[in-house]
């Protein structure tokens, strides 16, 4: 019953604005100093942008000149799914698009330290029949369709949102993108089936880039419309319906001119990149989401997944840097989904523009029957149809005759197991292929026979350290003397709860 009450209350001001020690942590002194330097008020409006490929969350804040400026960029600890919008409940996709966060979506009772609901699905998503619920930005570095930060990070982001509501902002905008909408990224992903949707939300991205104002978002004819206003001769504002025909509207001329100028430059650069043969990004089917490299460097066998990675030396250097918050022991880094890999065809390299593909040499399979049993990759290969009794290339068994030196040296054809193993390892970013070459090199028969089977690798049973009730600020250093200890602090008379008493 308690759980149902909390769930029902997640969308009410009474719960979201409750007096809560975690939810009332002050904005860190370093962020306050940054606001002073950038001519911002503590309670001025904010705007949040998320980028999957870069694995970054940006908090923008309105300065006294009325324009938004970047206050701080937070590395995302974990996001799930693929590049592209969320479509249905249970697809593990983190949403993309424009969403509005009001005080009722702020959840201090979250099981993931603190969180706020993204507001998915919005009117556009609903018009397309997209489903899903409880898509959050939260702590704990664990994601099943959400954007997960560390507890320290979400405490800081939560405090910035809270103060903007204190200042009178009714809702702050959340913009979620697959990547920064630059010409080079658009060129790399030009063959992605989500490109029409991405070009549509890039319009809003461009509006913000040229105006540094939160774009007004409407929906009609199952599409986004940005900064729409009523025509000069209209008596009332246009009424938008995501599933209906668009009403008459105009976009301010100064905004149109600025956006067109930016888009013309972007399109010219895009055309140049395509003409010179910019490779198309590989479709990494089966990898579940991404992680910022600062976190991947801290985890044994960590991977950035679908986010931008780093070379081995860079990851080693990052391993020495301080992480922005506590990484829980149960964190699950991005890795290939073997079920998806097994059900998908063998991966192929994406084509490179203006480069011809080399001819493929023929492979001859021996007539030797397939083995009745084998390792994991052999069995999985046969299930996928990559080998059978009459097509699998095998090495004939040694004959029980006197040894005779062969006239020439022959090369053992690749087995189905080796081909599948190579396909799977291609999904793992940063995989060291030189180790595979050494490990898979042929060994003398006597050596192979004498080598005992390696014991199965046991799962990591290390437990996560118990987290404190409150998290220190990531701006002032996690784990230092800035951590709040003990019971709930004394809340001033202008606390989050009391200031919104009238709203209740």
Q: In what order do the strands lie in the sheet with 172-177?
A: 68-75, 56-62, 46-51, 172-177, 97-101
| pLDDT for 500 | 44
**pLDDT tens digits for 386-405?**
443 333 333 334 444 444 34
Q: What percent of the chain has pLDDT over 70?
A: 61
Mean pLDDT of 100-106: 97
Cβ neighbors of 466 (< 8 A, separation 6 or more) are none
Strand pairing class (172-177; 46-51): parallel
Cβ neighbors of 43 (< 8 A, separation 6 or more) are 163, 164, 166, 167, 168
Q: How many helices (H) and strands (E) does the chain have?
A: 16, 12
**pLDDT tens digits for 452-487?**
444 444 444 443 344 445 666 677 554 443 333 334
**pLDDT tens digits for 308-328?**
876 555 767 777 778 889 999
Reading the block at residue 340, the tokens are: 């998806």
Cβ count near 264 (within 10 Å): 10
Higher pLDDT, 217 or 10: 217
Higher pLDDT, 307 or 12: 307
Q: What is the DSSP letter of 412?
A: P
The closest of 352, 386, 44, 50 to 190, measured between CA atoms, is 352
Beta bridge partners of 73: 58
Beta bridge partners of 115: 107, 138
The closest of 347, 337, 300 to 82, measured between CA atoms, is 337
> Rounded to whole angstroms, how far apart are CA atoms 174 and 323?
25
Mean pLDDT of 431-439: 47
State yes or no: pLDDT of 79 exceeds 70. Answer: yes
Question: Which one of 10, 77, 138, 141 is the catalytic residue?
Answer: 138
The residue whose two tokens read 């911002």 is 40
| pLDDT for 203 | 98
State yes or no: pLDDT of 265 exceeds 90. Answer: yes
Q: What is the pLDDT confidence band of residue 293, given thresholds at 50, 70 and 90?
A: very high
Mean pLDDT of 239-265: 98
Reading the block at residue 502, the tokens are: 């009238």
Cβ neighbors of 51 (< 8 A, separation 6 or more) are 57, 58, 177, 178, 179, 180
| pLDDT for 486 | 39
**Lowest-pLDDT range, 118-132, 156-170, 287-301?**
287-301
Is 220 an annotated catalytic residue?
no
**pLDDT tens digits for 185-207?**
999 999 999 999 999 999 999 99
- Write phi, then psi, for 7 (nearest 5 degrees): -65, -45
Question: Which one of 10, 77, 141, 146 is the catalytic residue?
Answer: 146
Q: Where are the alpha helices (DSSP H) in 344-483?
A: 376-383, 416-425, 433-439, 445-450
Q: What is the pTM assigned to this prediction?
A: 0.69
Q: With b meaning 16 or more CB within 10 Å and e meaning fewer, what string describes 180-201?
A: ebebebbbbbeebeeeebbeeb
| pLDDT for 372 | 41
C-alpha dist (Å) from residue 451 to 66, 113, 455: 72, 50, 12
Higher pLDDT, 450 or 248: 248
- Write phi, then psi, for 172 (nearest 5 degrees): -105, 150
Is 146 an annotated catalytic residue?
yes
> Rounded to whole angstroms, how far apart are CA atoms 369 and 371?
7
DSSP state letters, 161-201: HHHHHHTT-S-EEEEEESS---HHHHHHTTT-TTHHHHHHH
Report the greatest alpha carbon distance in the chain: 102
Helix axes 195-211, 253-275, angle to 10 degrees: 130
| pLDDT for 313 | 59
Cβ neighbors of 127 (< 8 A, separation 6 or more) are 219, 222, 242, 243
Higher pLDDT, 55 or 366: 55
Q: Return the H-helix or E-strand segment holding 314.
A: helix 312-319
State yes or no: pLDDT of 381 exceeds 50. Answer: no
State yes or no: pLDDT of 344 exceeds 80. Answer: no
């Amino acid at each position: 019953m308690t759980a149902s009450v909390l769930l029902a209350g997640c969308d009410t001001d009474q719960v979201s604005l409750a007096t809560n020690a975690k939810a009332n942590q002050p904005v860190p002194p370093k962020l306050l100093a940054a606001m002073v330097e950038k001519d911002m008020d503590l309670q001025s409006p904010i705007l949040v942008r998320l980028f999957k490929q870069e694995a970054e969350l940006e908090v923008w804040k309105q300065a006294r000149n009325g324009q938004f400026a970047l206050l701080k960029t937070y590395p995302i600890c974990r996001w799930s799914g693929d590049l592209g919008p969320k479509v249905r409940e249970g697809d593990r996709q983190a949403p993309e698009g424009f969403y509005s966060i009001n005080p009722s979506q702020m959840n201090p009772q979250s099981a993931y330290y603190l969180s706020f609901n993204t507001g998915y699905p919005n009117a556009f998503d609903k018009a397309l029949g997209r489903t899903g619920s409880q898509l959050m930005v939260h702590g704990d570095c664990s994601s099943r369709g959400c954007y997960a930060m560390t507890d320290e990070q979400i405490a800081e982001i939560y405090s910035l949102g809270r103060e903007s509501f204190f200042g009178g902002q009714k809702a702050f905008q959340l913009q979620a993108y697959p990547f920064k909408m630059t010409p080079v990224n658009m060129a790399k992903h030009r063959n992605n089936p989500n490109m029409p949707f991405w070009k549509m939300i890039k319009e809003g991205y461009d509006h913000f880039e040229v105006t540094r104002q939160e774009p007004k978002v409407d929906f009609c004819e199952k599409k986004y419309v940005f900064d729409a206003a009523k025509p000069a001769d209209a008596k009332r504002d246009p009424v938008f319906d995501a599933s209906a025909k668009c009403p008459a509207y105009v976009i301010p001329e100064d905004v149109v001119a600025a956006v067109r100028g930016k888009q013309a430059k972007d399109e010219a650069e895009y055309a140049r990149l395509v003409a010179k043969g910019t490779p198309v990004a590989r479709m990494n089917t089966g990898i579940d989401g991404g992680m910022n490299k600062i976190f991947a460097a801290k985890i044994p066998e960590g991977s950035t997944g679908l986010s931008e990675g780093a070379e081995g030396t860079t990851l080693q250097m990052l391993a020495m840097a301080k992480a922005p918050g506590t990484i829980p022991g149960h964190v699950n880094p991005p890795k290939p989904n073997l079920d998806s890999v097994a059900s998908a065809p063998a991966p192929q390299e994406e084509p490179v523009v203006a480069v011809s593909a080399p001819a493929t040499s023929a492979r001859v399979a021996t007539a030797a029957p397939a083995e009745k049993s084998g390792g994991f990759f052999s069995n999985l290969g046969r299930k996928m149809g990559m080998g059978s009794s009459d097509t699998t290339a095998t090495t004939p068994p040694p004959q029980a005759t006197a040894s005779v030196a062969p006239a020439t040296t022959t090369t053992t054809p690749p087995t189905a197991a080796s081909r599948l193993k190579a396909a799977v390892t291609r999904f793992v970013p940063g995989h060291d292929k030189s180790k595979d070459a050494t490990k898979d090199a042929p060994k003398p028969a006597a050596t192979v026979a004498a080598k005992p089977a390696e014991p199965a690798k046991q799962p990591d049973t290390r437990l996560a350290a118990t987290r404190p009730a409150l998290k220190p600020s990531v701006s002032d250093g996690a784990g230092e003397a800035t951590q709040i200890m003990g019971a709930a602090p004394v809340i001033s008379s202008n606390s989050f709860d009391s200031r919104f008493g009238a709203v209740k």
